[in-house]
Amino acid sequence: MALAAALLLAAPNAAFAQAVWPPKLVRIIVPFGAGASPDIVGRVLADSLQARHPGTNFVVENKPGASGNIGTDAIAKAAPDGATIGISLGGPLAINTLLFAKLPYNPDTDIAPITLLTQLPSALAVPTSLGVNSVAELLAKAKADNKGLAYGSIGVGTLSQICMEAIAQKAGVKMVHIPYPSSPAATTALIRGDVQVACLPAIGVTPQLATGAVKILAVTTAQRSQFLPDVPTLKESGVDVQSDAWNALVGPGGLSKDVVTAINAEVRKTLTEPAVIEKLKAQLITPSPTTPEQLKKRINDEKALWADVIKAAGIRIE
CB-count burial class (<10 Å; 0-12, 13-18, 19+) for 1: exposed
User: Domain check: are 132 and 83 in the same one?
Assistant: no
What is the predicted pLDDT for the residue at 16? 47
User: Domain check: are 113 and 164 in the same one?
Assistant: no
> Does 9 score more than 90 pLDDT?
no
User: Domain check: are 114 and 127 in the same one?
Assistant: no
User: Domain check: are 113 and 149 in the same one?
Assistant: no
Please provide the DSSP assignment of 141-183 as one string.
HHHH-SS-EEEEESSTTSHHHHHHHHHHHHHT--EEEEE-SSH
What is the predicted pLDDT for the residue at 182? 86
Confidence grade of residue 59 (pLDDT, cut at 50, 70, 90): very high
**What single-letter amino acid sits at 281?**
K
Whether 249 is covered by a domain: the verdict is yes
Whether 1 is covered by a domain: the verdict is no
CATH of the domain at 188: 3.40.190.10
CA–CA distance from 295 to each of 129, 137, 167, 179, 288 (Å)?
Answer: 41, 37, 26, 29, 10
Whether 106 is covered by a domain: the verdict is yes
What is the predicted pLDDT for the residue at 4? 43
**Who's near 305: CB < 8 A, 6+ residues apart?**
242
User: Domain check: are 99 and 130 in the same one?
Assistant: no
> Does 143 score more than 80 pLDDT?
yes
User: Domain check: are 203 and 253 in the same one?
Assistant: no
User: Domain check: are 59 and 115 in the same one?
Assistant: yes
Whether 160 is covered by a domain: the verdict is yes
Confidence grade of residue 1 (pLDDT, cut at 50, 70, 90): very low
Across the range 211-232, mean pLDDT stands at 95
State how far the Cα of 265 lies from the Cα of 17, in Å rounded to an integer. 9
Who wins on pLDDT, 35 or 114? 114
Backbone angles phi, psi at 55, to 5 degrees: -85, -5
> Does 284 score more than 90 pLDDT?
yes
Whether 278 is covered by a domain: the verdict is yes
Q: What is the rounded average pLDDT for all residues in the chain?
A: 92
Whether 228 is covered by a domain: the verdict is no
> Does 14 score more than 60 pLDDT?
no
> Does 279 score more than 50 pLDDT?
yes
pTM for this predicted structure: 0.89
User: Domain check: are 98 and 48 in the same one?
Assistant: yes
Closest CA to 46 of 249, 312, 317: 249
State how far the Cα of 177 lies from the Cα of 150, in Å rounded to an integer. 6
**What single-letter amino acid sits at 75?**
I
Closest CA to 116 of 262, 276, 289: 289
294-318 per-residue burial string, b: 16 or more CB within 10 A, e: under 16: ebbebbeebbebbeebbeebebeee
3-class secondary structure, 220: coil
Across the range 296-307, mean pLDDT stands at 95
Confidence grade of residue 17 (pLDDT, cut at 50, 70, 90): very low
Strands 122-127, 149-153: pairing kind = unpaired
* CB 31 within 8 Å of CB 38: yes
User: Domain check: are 115 and 152 in the same one?
Assistant: no
State how far the Cα of 173 lies from the Cα of 161, in Å rounded to an integer. 15
User: Domain check: are 93 and 166 in the same one?
Assistant: no
Whether 135 is covered by a domain: the verdict is yes
Across the range 202-210, mean pLDDT stands at 92
> Does 8 score more than 80 pLDDT?
no
State how far the Cα of 226 lies from the Cα of 287, in Å rounded to an integer. 13
Closest CA to 107 of 97, 116, 99: 97
Cα 110 from chain centre: 19
What is the predicted pLDDT for the residue at 181? 87
CATH of the domain at 56: 3.40.190.150
Number of domains in the chain: 2
pLDDT above 70 covers a percentage of the chain that reads 94
> Does 145 score more than 60 pLDDT?
yes
- The boundaries of the domain holding residue 139 are 122-219
Confidence grade of residue 7 (pLDDT, cut at 50, 70, 90): very low
User: Domain check: are 256 and 115 in the same one?
Assistant: yes
> Does 271 score more than 90 pLDDT?
yes
User: Domain check: are 13 and 81 in the same one?
Assistant: yes
What is the predicted pLDDT for the residue at 20? 81
Whether 260 is covered by a domain: the verdict is yes
Across the range 128-135, mean pLDDT stands at 96
